[in-house]
Amino acid sequence: MSIISKVLLIVALAQLFHSGFSSYEFHQLKKQLAAGSSVAIDQISLPKDIRLEVLSGLILFTFSVFMSFGKLTYLPLSGKPVLLSQHEYLKEIDMNRATMTNNLIGSDPYGEITYTPNFVDVHAKRKELKQWLNDRESHDKVN
């Protein structure tokens, strides 16, 4: 949520609260008038400024909600952790477009099947990593 949207939200909520309170006060006065005089109170409607305040509060509230949406960002699964974006506020619905995000970040959504994770050769994996760590250590020593 950006600062502008936060400010708008606060102003909108303040306006809505204020207009609500004003409306309450107005109706209280109307009741008192009805009890103490012979004024035709049915003809007295809610003042324009209160109605406009409600309208303005609602408009600002809607704006603040829309402005709170940020563009979606992603981090790639491998490589440098650079924030990637497709400059979209919402995710795609069509499958052919929705999968573009997966391609962008290098993710295979069916990896649970295609990477055959339950058949991983633990020993081979450990050997590979040990070799890599040894190579890195010897490389660090040389430098």
Per CB under 8 A, which region of 10-18, 35-43, 58-66, 68-76 contacts another protein? 68-76
Does position 83 interact with another protein (CB under 8 A)? The reply is: yes
Q: Residue 80, interface with another protein (CB under 8 A)?
A: yes
SS3 70: coil
Interface mask toward another protein for 112-131; x: CB under 8 A: xxxxxxxxxxxx-xx-xxxx
Indicate whether 99 belongs to the interface with another protein (CB under 8 A).
yes
- Residue 69 sits in the site that holds another protein (CB under 8 A): no
Q: Are 18 and 53 in contact (CB under 8 A)?
A: yes
Q: What is the DSSP string of 92-137?
A: --SHHHHHHHHHHHT--TTHHHHT-GGG--HHHHHHHHHHHHHHHH
* Residues of the shown chain interacting with another protein in the complex, contacts defined by CB under 8 A: 73-80, 82-85, 95-97, 99-100, 102-123, 125-126, 128-133
